């Protein structure tokens, strides 16, 4: 089968964490035996024009481990005009699609990721070129209700133009059904891919040392690191020999560092900075428990990655982890509740010997591996292609 992906954003390099789950899925489909390509318009902020050292120009086409990736970088020149940047994105996507078809033939399926802007542009291109559209939604913006009315209209356009609507978690499917009543009953959930870079661990005896809790996320308010640090402070005061490793960067990092110093736990908190995707397995091998403290997540790929590595997880019930963390994998707690988070961290940290890392990893592999997700998507593609002829419900 010939599948073309149209993501709303995409990694600029294999080491770029932005949209890495889109690339992981594309590679999984390629490895499953499909012919797979990517067209990736890249929106660049006008603020970057003032940089003294310009960013390296992206290649217009590259072969990424067998994955043909077509790119075009454009400046987000119309941020204050409704539909302005969308029209730039759609025009660029159309140019890339025409080039892709000329050089590789017409795909059987156009799979757009995130309605704003990829899904809406995909709906227009699907109608124009007669390629069935599959839409996968990832954005937390719907649960957080941050989209403007014109952006919601774009999302409606994407949903209306899609032959198949996929959400990356059941909770996101519920949110989308509520906000777009006409789509109720159409949403199914298929999770993100967890890349095949996590080997099944052995149940080796753990070294005698402090318990290492890891959080791997952008450092922003919605990721809940203030809650996590408050929980760790309580944990430290209650006598558990523990460390907190914070991997990532972002606008609240300096405030977190000050909070650690003020509360006397700076010697037990490590700020690791940004971690490239290929370094995550090594990091998980050095730590004991993954903690997801987010207020909102549509999936929570770091929780699934931890389980693939056999690492137990403590996570908030923030939308995504509920479909990831099963019995025997760790614990779930309410979001924005540091005391509950602290209690769960203590319970898991004091009972690490009770978690079977091999069993955790094997359960996760069945659900989140590239092969598992590619198989589910392939079945959905076949369903789309075998259903009644694609109707030209044109989208503008």
94-146 pLDDT, tens per residue?
Answer: 999 999 999 999 999 999 999 999 999 999 999 999 999 999 999 999 989 99
State mean pLDDT over 153-170: 97
pLDDT tens per residue across span 183-236 = 999 999 999 998 877 766 666 566 678 999 999 999 999 999 999 999 999 999
Segment among 55-59, 78-82, 239-243, 316-320 with least mean pLDDT: 55-59
Helix, strand or coil, per DSSP, at residue 155? helix
pLDDT tens per residue across span 232-263 = 999 998 889 999 999 999 999 999 999 999 99
Q: Residue 358 domain-assigned? A: yes
Q: Residue 200 domain-assigned? A: no
> Do residue 10 and residue 142 come from a single domain?
yes
> Do residue 175 and residue 221 come from a single domain?
no
> Do residue 181 and residue 104 come from a single domain?
yes
Please tell me the predicted confidence (pLDDT) of residue 391.
46
> Do residue 7 and residue 83 come from a single domain?
yes
> 387 falls in which pLDDT band (50, 70, 90)?
confident
> Do residue 143 and residue 164 come from a single domain?
yes
State mean pLDDT over 15-41: 92
> Do residue 153 and residue 222 come from a single domain?
no
Total count of domains within the chain: 2
Q: Residue 393 domain-assigned? A: no
> Do residue 285 and residue 334 come from a single domain?
yes
Please tell me the predicted confidence (pLDDT) of residue 376.
97
> Do residue 379 and residue 325 come from a single domain?
no
pLDDT tens per residue across span 342-373 = 999 999 999 999 999 999 999 999 999 999 99
Q: Residue 203 domain-assigned? A: no
CA 15/CA 76 separation, integer angstroms: 23
Q: Residue 391 domain-assigned? A: no
CA 345/CA 191 separation, integer angstroms: 26
Please tell me the predicted confidence (pLDDT) of residue 54.
56
Q: Residue 312 domain-assigned? A: yes
Please tell me the predicted confidence (pLDDT) of residue 395.
46
> Do residue 102 and residue 231 come from a single domain?
no
> Do residue 160 and residue 234 come from a single domain?
no
Express as a percent the part of the chain with pLDDT over 90.
82
CA 95/CA 87 separation, integer angstroms: 12
160, 123 contact by CB (below 8 A): yes
Helix, strand or coil, per DSSP, at residue 101? helix
Domain of 298 in residue numbering reads as: 211-368
Q: Residue 295 domain-assigned? A: yes
Q: In what order do the strands lie in the sheet with 211-216?
A: 269-273, 242-247, 211-216, 289-292, 313-316, 330-333
Please tell me the predicted confidence (pLDDT) of residue 393.
46
Q: What is the CATH number of the domain that holds 38?
A: 3.40.50.2000
pLDDT tens per residue across span 274-293 = 998 889 999 999 999 999 99
Q: Residue 122 domain-assigned? A: yes
> Do residue 232 and residue 185 come from a single domain?
no
pTM of the model: 0.86
> Do residue 43 and residue 136 come from a single domain?
yes
Query: Does pLDDT of 272 surpass 90?
Result: yes
DSSP 219-265: -SGGGTHHHHHHHHHHHHHTT--EEEEEEB--TTHHHHHHHHHHTT-
Mean pLDDT, rounded, of the chain: 92
């Amino acid at each position: 089968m010939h599948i073309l992906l149209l993501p709303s954003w995409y990694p600029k390099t294999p080491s770029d964490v932005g949209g890495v789950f889109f690339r992981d899925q594309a590679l999984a489909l390629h490895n499953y035996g499909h012919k797979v390509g990517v067209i990736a318009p890249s929106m660049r902020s006008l603020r970057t024009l003032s940089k003294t050292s310009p960013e390296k120009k992206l290649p217009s086409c590259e072969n990424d481990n067998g994955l043909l990736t077509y790119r075009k970088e454009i400046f987000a020149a119309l941020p204050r005009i409704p539909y302005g940047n969308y029209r730039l994105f759609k025009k660029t996507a159309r140019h890339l699609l025409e080039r892709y078809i000329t050089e590789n033939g017409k795909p059987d399926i156009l799979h757009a990721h995130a309605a704003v802007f990829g899904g809406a542009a995909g709906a227009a291109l699907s109608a124009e070129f007669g390629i069935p559209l599959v839409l996968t939604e990832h954005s937390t913006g719907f649960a957080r209700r941050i989209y403007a009315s014109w952006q919601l209209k774009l999302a409606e356009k994407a949903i209306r133009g899609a032959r198949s609507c996929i959400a990356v978690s059941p909770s996101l499917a519920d949110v989308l059904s509520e906000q777009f009543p006409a789509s109720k009953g159409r949403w199914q959930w298929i999770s993100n891919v967890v890349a095949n870079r996590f080997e099944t661990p052995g149940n080796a005896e753990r070294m005698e040392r402090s318990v290492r809790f890891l959080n791997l996320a952008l450092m922003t308010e919605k990721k809940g690191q203030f809650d996590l640090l408050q929980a760790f402070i309580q944990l430290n005061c209650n006598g558990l020999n523990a460390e907190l490793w914070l991997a990532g960067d972002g606008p609240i990092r300096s405030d977190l560092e000050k909070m650690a110093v003020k509360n006397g736990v700076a010697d037990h908190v490590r700020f690791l900075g940004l971690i490239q995707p290929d370094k995550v397995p090594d990091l998980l091998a050095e730590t004991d428990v993954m903690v997801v403290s987010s207020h909102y997540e549509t999936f929570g790929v770091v929780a699934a990655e931890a389980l693939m590595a056999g690492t137990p997880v403590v996570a908030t019930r923030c939308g995504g982890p509920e479909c990831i963390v099963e019995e025997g994998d760790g614990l779930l707690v309410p979001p924005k509740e540091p005391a509950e988070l602290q209690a769960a961290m203590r319970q898991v940290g004091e009972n690490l010997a009770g978690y079977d890392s091999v069993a955790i990893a094997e359960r996760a592999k069945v659900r989140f591996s590239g092969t598992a997700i590619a198989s589910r998507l392939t079945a959905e593609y076949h369903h789309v292609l075998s259903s009644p002829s694609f109707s030209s419900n044109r989208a503008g």
